[in-house]
């Protein structure tokens, strides 16, 4: 009887049911789209952070203080005075610890011994500046009137020396700057190299702790025309390219990766590192582990992915803020409006059915039965609105994913620079230039949780509308209802 009457009433009032369902559908669709876009923002930001951090890394530990570089730390290039003809070719490399701050290698074991730390590995980030060029000797040319004795006031005039000038000559030098990261080859599952995929050759072996081998970033290898088997010279030391790595997202952490011991030797920093990469045993306890490390390992700064996220700016940050703040409140406002409209329309429909409900009560229907009938109709309208809303929301999310608008993420704000100074191994990670801009494609993935939320909102909308209408229906008295004309 309940379902028969429900079906007949919904058929008879199709337009009213469609209006209520459409209002709920718009609100639910907006919630789905905003939730999906927010999730896409999160994924885009994760890609950016992975290119900074490395996969599997929960936090980094660096030296707390970053002093200003002194004159002795600035790059200086000394060239020999040679007399081997008109031209003299010169070349000099300067290897600089990024940020000029280091930690003792023993810091890695201290960090690894803290409660909540699953594993820790150290690395040394270096900037290499190579100056390569040629001096060209100028040519002395004598003036044509230098022999007539009238050039006494010129250069050498009155001294019996020839008069003239030096023409040509000079210097032509090229400056090549790149980054090198010394990695602990015995712990390859942690560190910045894990954010890249080996696309040619191989990665390091655990036995190559002091081998002269190098893994090159694919972009840098293409620029310098390196391939597996090529030779790379850093500060007169020749390294063999054993692999080419391509960054999964964003830019690679460094141009070249070499064993940690080799990096320490090149920089003259034995048993020194710039960064400790840390993996926590429980990703939900990262803040607690951060506090523990800062408390027990003095002179260090601990940076988590949450801290890094705060340094990401650009259109990605702006869009994320809009989706999180404006989108959230807009969704709430539309939902509240949709629920109120559904409730008012249902209540208004009850007012127009006064005679109908009065007749039913006169025939023996109790107020509870009438209320259940009204709530049942409202619930069906809510579920219909939920189905329409899910369909519209999925279509909107698909449209965003199909268009894939490109957002820019700017990385910087006090982190490592690619120049001669700046803090290295901190917020910007090893080998990364300040104010680096990355482009990330936006997607709008729809999760099962979002669908469940949409269904819950549809049920809630039906209950709210039914509550309005049921309350009005329960207050009707048969005698008063029968005196009114519909």
Same domain, 291 and 360: no
DSSP run (H or E) holding 136: strand 117-136
408 in Cβ contact with 49 (< 8 Å): no
Per the listing, tokens 């559904």 go with 342
Task: Please indicate, yes or no, if residue 17 is contained in any of the structural domains.
Answer: yes
Task: Please indicate, yes or no, if residue 428 is contained in any of the structural domains.
Answer: no
109-153 pLDDT per residue, tens: 999 999 999 999 999 999 998 877 665 666 666 666 655 544 444
Task: Please indicate, yes or no, if residue 155 is contained in any of the structural domains.
Answer: no
Q: What is the mean pLDDT of residues 78-85?
A: 54
Same domain, 271 and 386: no
Same domain, 226 and 282: yes
Two structure tokens written together for 345: 């329309």
Same domain, 77 and 118: yes
Two structure tokens written together for 243: 């692999």
DSSP state of 250: S
Task: Give 19-64 as a 3 state SS string.
Answer: HHHHHHHHHHHHHHHHHHHHHHHHHHHHHHHHHHHCCCCCEEEEEC
Residues 6+ away with beta carbon under 8 Å from 139: 166, 167, 168, 169
Task: Please indicate, yes or no, if residue 436 is contained in any of the structural domains.
Answer: no
Closest CA to 396 of 32, 25, 27, 23: 32
Instruction: Report d(CA 421, CA 96) in Å as an integer.
Output: 9
Two structure tokens written together for 18: 């469609």
Same domain, 30 and 93: no
Same domain, 94 and 243: yes
CA distances from 145 to 74, 126, 132, 421 (A): 49, 58, 41, 54
Q: How much is the pTM?
A: 0.56
Task: Please indicate, yes or no, if residue 83 is contained in any of the structural domains.
Answer: yes
Closest CA to 407 of 383, 442, 369, 436: 442
Question: Which of 152-166, 288-302, 303-317, 451-465 bottoms out in mean pLDDT, i.e. has the lowest?
Answer: 152-166
Same domain, 109 and 244: yes
Two structure tokens written together for 432: 């990364």
**What residues does 135 pair with on adjacent strands?**
88, 171
Cα dihedral 348, 353, 358, 361 sign: negative
Q: For residue 369, what pLDDT is reported?
A: 77
Helices (H) and strands (E) in the chain, counts: 13, 18
- Cβ count within 10 A of residue 161: 10
Comparison of pLDDT for 299 and 83, the residue scoring more: 299
Cα dihedral 231, 233, 238, 243 sign: negative
415 in Cβ contact with 426 (< 8 Å): yes
DSSP run (H or E) holding 458: helix 448-474
Task: Please indicate, yes or no, if residue 342 is contained in any of the structural domains.
Answer: yes
Name the most confidently modeled range: 215-219, 343-347, 411-415, 420-424: 215-219
Task: Please indicate, yes or no, if residue 427 is contained in any of the structural domains.
Answer: no
Q: Residue 68 pLDDT > 70, yes or no?
A: no
367-403 vs 14-53: helix axis angle to the nearest 10? Answer: 40
Same domain, 214 and 287: yes
Q: What is the mean pLDDT of residues 88-97?
A: 74
Looking at 245, 269, 298, the residue that finishes a domain is 298
Question: Which of 18-22, 118-122, 166-170 bottoms out in mean pLDDT, i.e. has the lowest?
Answer: 166-170
Phi, psi at 94, each rounded to 5°: -130, 120
**Would you give the end-to-end CA distance of the chain in angstroms?**
24
258-311 pLDDT per residue, tens: 999 999 999 999 999 999 999 888 877 888 999 999 999 988 989 886 776 665
Looking at 264, 298, 332, the residue that finishes a domain is 298
Instruction: Report d(CA 112, CA 277) in Å as an integer.
Output: 10
Residue 202 structural domain: 66-145+164-298
State the pLDDT confidence band at 443, using cuts at 50, 70 and 90: confident
Counting Cα atoms < 13 Å in the Cβ hemisphere of 465 gives 37
Cα dihedral 66, 67, 69, 72 sign: negative
Two structure tokens written together for 457: 């909102």
Q: Residue 78 pLDDT > 70, yes or no?
A: no
Task: Please indicate, yes or no, if residue 458 is contained in any of the structural domains.
Answer: yes
Same domain, 241 and 92: yes
Q: Residue 11 pLDDT > 90, yes or no?
A: no
Total domain count for the chain? 2
Same domain, 227 and 344: no
Q: For residue 250, what pLDDT is reported?
A: 58
Same domain, 293 and 244: yes
254 in Cβ contact with 430 (< 8 Å): yes
Same domain, 211 and 352: no
Q: Residue 253 pLDDT > 50, yes or no?
A: yes
């Amino acid at each position: 009887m309940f379902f028969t009457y429900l079906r007949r009433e919904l058929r008879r009032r199709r337009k009213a049911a469609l209006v209520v369902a459409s209002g709920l559908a718009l609100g639910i669709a907006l919630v789905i789209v905003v939730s999906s876009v927010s999730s896409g923002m999160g994924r885009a930001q994760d890609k950016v952070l992975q290119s900074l951090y490395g996969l599997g890394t929960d936090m980094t530990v660096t030296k707390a203080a970053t002093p200003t570089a002194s004159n002795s730390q600035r790059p200086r290039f000394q060239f020999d005075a040679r007399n081997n003809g008109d031209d003299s070719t010169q070349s000099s490399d300067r290897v600089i610890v990024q940020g000029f701050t280091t930690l003792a290698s023993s810091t890695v074991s201290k960090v690894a011994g803290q409660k909540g730390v699953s594993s820790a590995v150290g690395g040394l980030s270096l900037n290499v500046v190579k100056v390569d060029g040629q001096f060209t000797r100028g040519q002395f040319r004598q003036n044509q009137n230098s022999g007539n004795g009238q050039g006494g006031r010129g250069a050498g005039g009155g001294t019996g020396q020839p008069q003239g000038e030096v023409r040509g000559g000079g210097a032509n030098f090229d400056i090549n700057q790149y980054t090198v990261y010394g990695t602990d080859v015995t712990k390859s599952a942690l560190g910045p190299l894990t954010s890249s995929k080996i696309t040619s050759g191989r990665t390091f072996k655990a036995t190559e702790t002091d081998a002269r081998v190098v893994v090159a970033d694919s972009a840098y290898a293409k620029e310098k025309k390196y391939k597996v088997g090529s030779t790379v010279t850093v500060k007169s030391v020749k390294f063999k390219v054993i692999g080419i790595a391509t960054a999964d997202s964003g830019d690679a952490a460094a141009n070249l990766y070499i064993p940690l011991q080799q990096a320490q030797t090149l920089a003259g920093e034995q048993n020194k590192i710039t960064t400790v990469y840390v993996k926590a045993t429980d990703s939900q306890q990262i803040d607690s582990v951060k506090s523990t490390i800062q408390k027990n390992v003095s002179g260090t700064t601990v940076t988590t992915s949450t801290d890094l996220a705060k340094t990401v700016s650009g259109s990605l940050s702006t869009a994320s803020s809009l989706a999180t703040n404006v989108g959230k409140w807009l969704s709430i406002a539309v939902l509240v409006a949709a629920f109120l409209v559904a409730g008012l329309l249902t209540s208004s429909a009850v007012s127009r059915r006064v005679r109908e409900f009065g007749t039913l009560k006169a025939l023996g229907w109790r107020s509870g039965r009438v209320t259940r009938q009204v709530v049942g109709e409202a619930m069906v309208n809510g579920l219909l609105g939920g189905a329409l809303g899910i369909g519209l929301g999925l279509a909107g999310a698909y449209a965003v994913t199909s268009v894939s608008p490109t957002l820019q993420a700017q990385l910087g704000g006090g982190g490592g620079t690619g120049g001669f100074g700046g803090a290295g191994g901190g917020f910007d990670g090893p080998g990364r230039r300040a104010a680096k801009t990355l482009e990330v494609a936006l997607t709008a993935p729809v999760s099962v949780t979002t669908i469940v939320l949409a269904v819950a909102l549809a049920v809630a909308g039906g209950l709210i509308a039914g509550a309005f209408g049921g309350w009005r229906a329960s207050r009707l008295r048969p005698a008063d209802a029968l005196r009114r004309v519909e």
